[in-house]
Amino acid sequence: MQQVHVRKESIGEAELVECEPGALAENAVRFEIESFSVTANNVTYAVVGDGFGYWNFFPAPDGMGIVPMWGHARAIESNHPDIAVGERIYGYLPMASHLDVVPGKVTASGFADMAEHRQPMSPIYNQYSRLAADPEHDPAREGERMIFGPLFKTGFLIEYFLRSEHWFGATQLILTSASSKTAMGLASVARHRSPDVKRIGLTSAGNVRFVEESGLYDQVLSYEAVDGIVAEPSVSVDFAGNASLLRAIHQHLGSVLKYSCLVGVTHIEERGEGLDGIPGPTPTLFFAPDHAVALFKNVGPEEAGQQIAQSWRAFLADVGNSVTISRDAGLAAARDAFVQMVGGKVDPARGIVIEP
């Protein structure tokens, strides 16, 4: 068995290690990991790993961590009566070649991993879809699901939250790191569900053309052109984690900035505090699992699933061929891709899928 261990205090350092799998526990199932994506979302898991418990899902030696990924796996050994060898699943996986789970709450469409160490964390991450009866599964779109699916759902939940709050009276939505997949998901959902709200994408100068060509934004500006935003009632959703950029947005808009939302960190080297005394609303962190629970409670699981599926189909139609999926074999490729992602050196038009 192989795993990629990341140094918690310096996540740009990662190593490939060999491990002994050991005997399979009672009622457990051993899955061989077939594929997973590497995105900016995984960098966020590592950056805020200790604060949100992301390092706790897949234990590693002291000082090291295993970054969670989203992907597909196949059962190769089973001590559970309801899960047969050969069954495929989709869900939260380690950057590794194998994963042992203890299935519970088993239904035709999925199960939860009841392993003791995972119970303190959000149940959203412990759910696995059984592909044979999964309404979201499309064999031809497995790559897109891994790359966009979790990020898209975060974007969906942000739009649902802001719309539930009547957009805090705002008429325009400002998204930093507009080339990121979560931002693109939010822009797509807002385009279809809140078409009266103007969508403004902020991105690096080198990504302006890519973001413009996505067609998801009404206006695209480089980070150096924040002053080009019209000063009218706004909400900002910051995916970049760049304190100086967020300060510039607050200083430019002042009291017309009605809500400031923090989601993820793609520019980790610039995520310093640096926000003391900024004008406008206090930036507020968005934790997607809590909002997912609220959505399911408010509208019910069936209606929530229908809304997400409808917006997901619209999003796939929106993004079209904007991202080219590349498939790389081996965990060494996963390690290298993650390190490049940490350094911000990955083309946003490239979607990375690893096949361990």
- Residue ranges of the domains in the chain? 2-137+324-355, 151-289
Between 349 and 256, residue with greater pLDDT: 256
User: Which residue has 């205090």 as its token pair?
Assistant: 9
Nearest to 73 by CA among 55, 91, 95, 60: 91
CATH for the 151-289 domain, from 3.30.2130.10, 3.40.50.2020, 3.40.50.720, 3.30.390.30:
3.40.50.720
Whole-angstrom Cα distance, residue 275 to residue 281?
A: 11
pLDDT digits (tens, 9 = 90+) for 339-354: 998 887 777 778 899 9
Whole-angstrom Cα distance, residue 311 to residue 300?
A: 17
Q: Mean pLDDT check: name the lowest of 52-66, 134-148, 212-226.
A: 134-148
* pLDDT score for 264: 65
Class of domain 2-137+324-355 (CATH, top level): alpha beta
Please list, residue by residue across 62-76, b when 16 or more beta carbons sit within 10 angstroms of its beta carbon and e when fewer do. eebbbbbbbbbbebe
* pLDDT score for 124: 82
pLDDT digits (tens, 9 = 90+) for 91-122: 999 999 999 999 999 998 899 999 999 999 88
pLDDT digits (tens, 9 = 90+) for 148-173: 888 888 999 999 999 999 999 999 99
* pLDDT score for 11: 93
pLDDT digits (tens, 9 = 90+) for 65-74: 999 999 999 9
* pLDDT score for 284: 86
Q: Answer whether residue 268 shows pLDDT above 50.
A: no
DSSP string, 239-278: -S--HHHHHHHHHHHGGGEEEEEE---S-GGG-----TT-
Between 264 and 85, residue with greater pLDDT: 85
Whole-angstrom Cα distance, residue 261 to residue 316?
A: 25
Q: Answer whether residue 42 shows pLDDT above 50.
A: yes
- Which amino acid belongs to residue 43? V
Percent of the chain at pLDDT > 70 equals 96
pLDDT digits (tens, 9 = 90+) for 169-181: 999 999 999 988 8
